[in-house]
Amino acid sequence: MSTRPDLTLDPKNWDSLRKLGHQMLDDMFDYLQEVREAPVWRLMPASDQSKFEEGLPYRPQDPEAVYADFKELVLPYPTGNIHPRFWGWVMGSGNAVSMLADMLAATINSNVCLGDHSAMKVEQQVLAWSKQLLGYPSSASGLLVSGASMANLTALIVARNHASGGDMRRLGARAMAGEMVMYCSGETHNCIRKAAEVMGMGAGSVRTVPVDEQFRIRTDLLEEIIQNDIAEGCIPFCIVGNAGTVNTGAIDPLDELLAISRKYGLWFHVDGAFGALAKPLPEYAALLHAIEEADSVAFDYHKWMHIPYEAACVLVRNAEAQRQAFAQTPNYLLQHERGVSAGSHSFGDYGIELSRGFKALKIWMSLKTYGVFAFMALIRQNISQARYLAQLIEQHPHLELLAPVDLNIVCFRYIRTGWSSATAQDVNKEILMRLQEEGIATVSATVIQGRYALRAAVSNHRSRAEDFDLLAAQVVRLGNVITESVCFG
Amino acid sequence: MSTRPDLTLDPKNWDSLRKLGHQMLDDMFDYLQEVREAPVWRLMPASDQSKFEEGLPYRPQDPEAVYADFKELVLPYPTGNIHPRFWGWVMGSGNAVSMLADMLAATINSNVCLGDHSAMKVEQQVLAWSKQLLGYPSSASGLLVSGASMANLTALIVARNHASGGDMRRLGARAMAGEMVMYCSGETHNCIRKAAEVMGMGAGSVRTVPVDEQFRIRTDLLEEIIQNDIAEGCIPFCIVGNAGTVNTGAIDPLDELLAISRKYGLWFHVDGAFGALAKPLPEYAALLHAIEEADSVAFDYHKWMHIPYEAACVLVRNAEAQRQAFAQTPNYLLQHERGVSAGSHSFGDYGIELSRGFKALKIWMSLKTYGVFAFMALIRQNISQARYLAQLIEQHPHLELLAPVDLNIVCFRYIRTGWSSATAQDVNKEILMRLQEEGIATVSATVIQGRYALRAAVSNHRSRAEDFDLLAAQVVRLGNVITESVCFG
């Protein structure tokens, strides 16, 4: 070997990096403590944007200078979902315990795939807790993944493999006697369609069933479509039920879907990205009870449980089916009787990924610190806040509720008598953008039965009642200003 | 609304949590500074294991108590990959700047999917840097994902969609006139086979081509197999080349694979999980040059770049092909001219996931702080350490090198004259387990041409020359002890 000293990324001076770390920590606590006073969103100036054009850094810089770049270019311009008045898409608010847990996880830097080490046990415990949380059988298997897209994909791969009788992994979709098809409502999240594409089934294999006036799947039509598919030689294999649709928070009649899936021998999967987490609340127990009987369920920890991104979970009732869909034992993953490669469980046998970070730690520490009751109380608070907002909307002559509020999503618009749909869209789009530009609040948009809707998804542990008063008042104010300043009609 | 005060996960007492955070940070710095003195691995006592059986926590606990649990149950039992003498599988060592960056990322908790906010710009810059690092065209597209399994899957989905002429997303694999097949060596990582399974092509669609004595794909046989497939009505669509195989670190003749892929009109994908990162080194430039011309390449940042889990990257030369394989625009992701939902780029259009954490920050801050030259110097150091270890092995009569050392992986065993393969396996397995149990070093195992091999994958920025002296000496010591204590033969 050379006689030069060995190189390393460890700092020559640990003390100065340690000092910087403490400064960062203080700054992050200040940031969280003061987040209510900050704008929900702000535009990055063009001069800062151009700094992201700089090329690959070859030479080192002081960590203090890099942190200064972070404070100047990154920290002031977040998505905003940690702010009390962020209700865009469906995101969680994060929490301070998880922020610290991610620092701990990044330090020990365990790869949670296989072997005998603590991160494996933490994830197994978090999975056991996840089953308890949803009343799911303890014999089920599961996996933490990045989000509901991956959780749903993982479940659908298991469902397909199970239905195909085992030849799918070797021979693929072309070996099946007919087209395998699955069923869900037209309000289902697009990740189901994307999963079908990824799986080589094609988006056409996803039969989208119309919904009723409450945006729930029409089970009468579902049965017709299944029977029609069978008559035409297709192979139905799965029904996907929604526990909280992305557009309006609608909950499909899960018990009916369960009964139909049993009648036709289909896999019953529940996409409960956020809605499944209302299940422990007594007032949602009946609506969501069928989750306990589902063959698989997907949900996010980074939405309504406020764990920072990424954190989601898939549970599969038939553990062996999940294993059979994914397990491989290549030579380089040999397991042993003792040592770090001991232990019969490999998470790589239950999903797509072999490199798996220690996502479980932030969930483990947050659940232990806050306790489930706190999360449930916050979910209940968000649901009642959504209803409160719906009331404010219904009470105001220029606001219109565009969908029933089943859960935590409120779709509405500012409206004047005689406006065309296009005018309403133009005004409401402008309202949405000004709410954000002025740093007041973030809502996102969707289209409900052809009508452009402002959409407030209330999954935020920092929101207070007064924040919804403000939102309603500001939408009205901006609607009035825009209406008066421009000649609409 | 109720008159009760609004609930939140924010602590009543920020100061005590802040104080705990500082304690954690000091503990983590101590842990990193002292990691060399700790055992590489240790067995968790049964009494601690049982604590992971505790049920879902309903009630809150003090964060100090939860952190005490972490220190007692989690911290002493890591995978060990941050230790200077960890050479198991292929993992990175992490770094202190990334540890701090993950804390920052978890605080602002941005979802890096779409919109006008800083995390989007950081990821775009990291992707631009990734292209520069590999000499890839700046017009290419890319995505950060969890690991090489996801990176390879993403690339193969693009390859398939591109080859199918666009009907694949709608109609699936069954609509193709013949079976789509891809090619790789028998030494290729199993994630390629798993990707084929996930994609509904079946593992049978992956043609594994034999390797030469250096474990590189036999390109003469490859052409034969392609021609045979064409004659039989199959649809060849992709060749996967290895830049560093998982077993031995072999580098396929990438330039020949590139030429064959062009000759037959196939997509050329490079799995460069760790090996692609040797490309900037002049001594590997020729061997890895073809990566610049590949249609796609996958590599990990959490292996040889020491970013903590999870961090990997896929790059695709034809950006439009990547978009066409994944883009969707559902109503609830409407984009706007201004505000947080402005900006035409959506990472969700380039891969499977819509929920995407801020992985980019730890890469961004680490590259800026350490500079690329430092990473390249460390990669070179690891390669020369692997060669040094190979020399030590070749110099010792009881040690045998089982594969050429092309890069950073050393496969070897302890051996005595006249031993059967089974005896050698028993002894070496016991050596591997005792190395770990005694906390000396972690190597993993594989099978090379039917022979059980100890496998040291040197991707560790903390390893020093003396650590390899120790490894060789301890393998010999343990081999001697085991041989003398048991009647083998």
CATH number at residue B402: 3.90.1150.170
What is the reported pLDDT for A118? 97
How far does the CA of residue A288 sit from the closest CA of chain B (Å)?
20
For residue B488, the model assigns a pLDDT of 53
pLDDT attached to residue A346? 93
Mean pLDDT calculated for residue range A36-61? 96
Q: What is the model's pTM?
A: 0.97
Q: Do B56 and A358 touch (CB under 8 A)?
A: no
Contact B81 A110 (CB under 8 A): yes
Q: Does residue A363 share a domain with residue A392?
A: no
pLDDT of residue A487: 58
Q: Which residue out of A9, A305, A435 would a mutagenesis test of the B interface target, given it has the greatest number of B Cβ atoms within 10 Å?
A: A9
B199 domain-assigned: yes
Backbone angles phi, psi at B267, to 5 degrees: -70, 135
B311 in a structural domain: yes
Do B146 and A353 lie within an 8 Å CB cutoff?
Answer: yes
3-state percent breakdown (helix, strand, coil) of chain A, nearest 5: 50, 15, 35
Interior angle at CA B383, CA B377 and CA B387, nearest 5: 140
- The answer as to whether B291 is a domain residue is yes
Number of domains in chain B: 2
Cross-chain residue pair B117–A79, CB shorter than 8 Å: yes
Separation of alpha carbons A182 and A238, rounded Å = 5
Query: Does residue B83 sit within a domain?
Result: no
| pLDDT score recorded for residue A9 | 97
CB contact under 8 A, B97 and A25: no
In a domain, B387, yes or no: yes
Nearest to A424 by CA among A407, A411, A437: A411
User: Across the interface, do A96 and B17 touch by the CB < 8 Å criterion?
Assistant: yes
CB contact under 8 A, B74 and A445: no
| Same-domain status, A320 and A386 | no
| Beta-sheet strand order (sheet of A86-87) | A86-87, A442-448, A451-457, A409-414, A399-401
Q: Say yes or no: A366 and A454 in one domain.
A: no
Over residues A295-303, the mean pLDDT reads 98
CA dihedral B141, B315, B335, A151 (to 10 degrees): 160
B74·A119 Cβ contact <8 A: yes
Give domain status of residue A407, yes or no. yes
The verdict on A390 and A411 lying in the same domain is yes
**pLDDT tens digits, residue range A307-336?**
999 999 999 999 999 999 999 978 777 888
Where does a domain end: B309, B338, B370?
B370
Residue B482 has pLDDT above 60, yes or no: yes
Residue B152 carries which DSSP code? H
**A189 inside domain:** yes
Nearest to A100 by CA among B412, B11, B263, B456: B11
Among A62, A77, A92, the domain-final residue is A77
Interior/surface letters A151-187, b for 16+ CB within 10 angstroms, e for the rest = bbbbbbbbbbbbbbeeebbebbbbbbeebbbbbbbeb
Judge if B270 and B409 occupy the same domain: no
The three state secondary structure string of A256-320 is HHHHHHHHHCCEEEEECCCHHHHCCCHHHHHHHHHHHHCCEEEEECCCCCCCCCCCEEEEECCHH
Residues A474 and A416 in one domain: yes
Of B128, B204, B309, the CB nearest to A171: B204
Contact call for residues A338 and A312 (beta carbons, < 8 A): no
pLDDT value at position B489?
A: 44
Is there a contact between A168 and B132 if contact means CB atoms under 8 Å apart?
no
A103 vs B24, B44, B89: nearest CB = B24
What is the total residue count of chain A?
489
B55/A96 CB distance under 8 A: no
Q: Distance between CA atoms of B202 and B49, rounded to whole angstroms?
A: 39
Q: Which residues of chain B make contact with A323, given a CB cutoff of 8 A?
A: none
Span A14-23, pLDDT tens digits? 999 999 999 9
| Residue-number span of the structural domain to which A168 is assigned | 101-328+339-370
Residue with the bigger pLDDT between A1 and B452: it is B452
Which of B370, B393, B423 corresponds to the end of one domain?
A: B370
Q: Rounded to a whole number, what is the distance in Å from the CA of B259 to chain A's nearest CA?
A: 28
Rounded to a whole number, what is the distance in Å from the CA of B220 to chain A's nearest CA? 26
Q: Residue A355 — very low, low, confident or very high, per pLDDT cuts 50/70/90?
A: very high
User: Does B430 share its domain with B312?
Assistant: no
Q: What is the rounded CA–CA span in Å between residue A179 and residue A173? A: 8
CB atoms within 10 A of CB A74: 27
Measured from the Cβ of residue B46, the count of other Cβ atoms closer than 10 Å reads 7
| DSSP secondary structure letter of residue A237 | E
What is the C-alpha to C-alpha distance for residues B147 and B144, in angstroms, rounded to an integer?
9
Per-residue pLDDT for A483 more than 80?
yes
On chain B, the residues whose CB falls within 8 A of the CB of A104 are 24, 28, 70, 74-75
Examine the domain organization and report whether A261 and A145 are in the same domain. yes
How many Cβ contacts (< 8 angstroms) between chains A and B? 580
CATH number, residue A184: 3.40.640.10
Amino acid A304 reads: W
Residues of B with Cβ-Cβ distance to A124 under 8 angstroms: 52
Do A123 and A225 lie in a common domain?
A: yes
- Phi first, then psi: give them for residue B33, nearest 5 degrees: -65, -30
Q: What is the pLDDT of residues B261-319, one digit of tens each?
A: 999 999 999 999 999 999 999 999 999 999 999 999 999 999 999 999 999 999 999 99
User: A185 and A321: one domain?
Assistant: yes
Q: Is the peptide bond before A337 cis (omega within 30 degrees of 0)?
A: no
Q: Of the candidates B104, B339, B373, which has its C-beta nearest A28's C-beta?
A: B104
| pLDDT (0 to 100) of residue A489 | 45
Q: Which residues of B touch A315 (CB under 8 A)?
A: none
Average pLDDT, chain B: 96
Residues B289, B365: one domain? yes
Q: Is residue A9 part of a domain?
A: no
- Residues of chain A contacting residue B119, judged by C-beta atoms under 8 Å apart: 74, 78-79
Residue of B41, B70, B108 to mutate, interface with A, max A Cβ within 10 Å: B108
B158 and B147, same domain (yes or no):
yes
Cβ pair B32:A41 closer than 8 A: no
What percent of chain A has pLDDT above 90?
Answer: 92
pLDDT band at B5 (very low <50, low <70, confident <90, very high): confident
Q: What is the DSSP letter of A138?
A: T
Q: What is the pLDDT of residue B2?
A: 53
Q: Which of A32, A201, A204 sits opposite B107 (nearest CB)?
A: A32
Distance from CA of A223 to the nearest CA of B (A): 23
Best of B309, B359, B442 to substitute, by most chain A Cβ atoms within 10 angstroms, is B309
Instruction: Please give the residue of chain A at the shortest CA–CA distance from B273.
Output: A355
Nearest to A121 among B52, B96, B202 (CB): B52
Average pLDDT, chain A: 96
pLDDT band at A2 (very low <50, low <70, confident <90, very high): low
* Shortest Cα–Cα distance, B253 to chain A (Å): 22
Residue B235 above 50 pLDDT? yes
